[in-house]
Each structure stands twice: as C-alpha cells, then as structure tokens.
Amino acid sequence: MKNIRKYDGITGGIFALLTIVFLIISSANEVFFNWIFERHQNILSWYIRPLFLIPFVFFAYKRSWAGIFITIFCIFTSMFWFNKPEIINPQVKEFLEFEEEWLFGIWDYKKILLALTVPISFFLLGLAFWKRSLWMGLGVVVLMASGKIAWSIYNASESGKQILIPAILGLIICILLIYYGFRRLEKKK
C-alpha cells in the first residue's frame, strides 16, 4: 500500500506539472492557442468539461493525487479533443472571441482575483470530498456552475447565454451522479 501511495504522489506531481506546462505553452504560443480555440468551438467540449467534476470528486474522496491531477489535466486538454466544427454557431464564436480577448487583455488585480476563483474552487471541492462532506461539496459544485454562468452572461451578454444549456445540464448530471456515488461509497464503509 505504501508503494501505491508513493507512486500516486509522483504521478499526481507529473500531471500537475504537465498541466502547468500546457497552460504556459497555450498562453505563450499564439498558433497553438488559436488551434485550441478553433477546436473548442465544437460545443461537445462544452458538454464534456463539467462532467470531469465527477472523477475529480471521486478521486478526492479516495484521496488520490494522481486521479485528481490527471482529471485536471483532462479538463484543460478536453478543449481540443473534438474536431473543429464545419458549421459554427455565430454566438458560440462570439463568446469564444470574448473569452480570448479577456484572457489576453490587461490583467489588473480584479482579473487576477477573479481568475484565482478557479483554483480556489477546485481546492474547496477537493477538500470537501477529501473530508467526506457531501453537502459542502455539492454546494461548491453549484457555486462553480453558477459563477461560470453569471460571469459569462454578465461579461459577454447575449453570446454568454450559449453556456447555459451545457452548464445547467452538466450541473444536474454532476449533482445526481455525485450524490448517488457518494451514497454508494459511504454504504460500502
């Protein structure tokens, strides 16, 4: 068991590093970034990304660093898992252009604080399930989805509404499966 834990930490560290490398390369290399965003216009990636909260929660519950950081790596890279769509919804394109402008715009303290809500949210979500707190964890999931929806609509207005269906559907699926999975894991104890 000790060896498994040792490799779990090493694997988790490798995937944490890979995630950081991915973020640095995608933000520093304009060609790569544009390639990612072209493929992210395929809304299948919008539907799949919230579902990664389910394995994230499972691995936090199991206290697996490898599982947690592999899942985070998958969340970021899933933006480009699907082909660029042949037909692009103009609202989706407009929203992604807004996100791109936001990412490459001026970073003041407000934007930095707002961006920090993402890792803080994942930390709180992981902590909730690490500590086996279903209700605190589900509360964090709801706040994460609500925050993304509110930010998108407030900042990108009409085009921001494109996030509604994937975010709400993802939230409902996550709540149901996390609740069901948590109850099953607790019964096994």
Give the closest residue to 85 by CA, choosing from 154, 129, 39.
39
Mean pLDDT of 88-104: 86
Say whether pLDDT at 2 is over 90. no
- Residue 137 contacts residue 128 (beta carbons within 8 Å): yes
Q: What are phi and psi of 20, to 5 degrees?
A: -65, -45
pLDDT of res. 119 = 94
Q: How confident is the model at residue 1 (pLDDT cuts 50, 70, 90)?
A: low
- The HSE-up count of residue 142 (CA atoms within 13 Å, CB side) is 9
Say whether pLDDT at 138 is over 60. yes
Please give the Cα distance from 113 to 110 (Å, whole number): 5
pLDDT of res. 105 = 86
CA 107-104-149 angle, 5° bins: 85
Helices assigned H by DSSP within 78-133: 90-104, 109-130
pLDDT of res. 3 = 63
Its pTM stands at 0.89
Model confidence pLDDT, tens digit, residues 63-83: 999 999 999 999 999 989 999
Say whether pLDDT at 96 is over 80. yes
Q: How confident is the model at residue 162 (pLDDT cuts 50, 70, 90)?
A: confident
pLDDT of res. 21 = 96
Greater pLDDT, 77 or 91: 77
Q: What are phi and psi of 102, to 5 degrees?
A: -65, -45
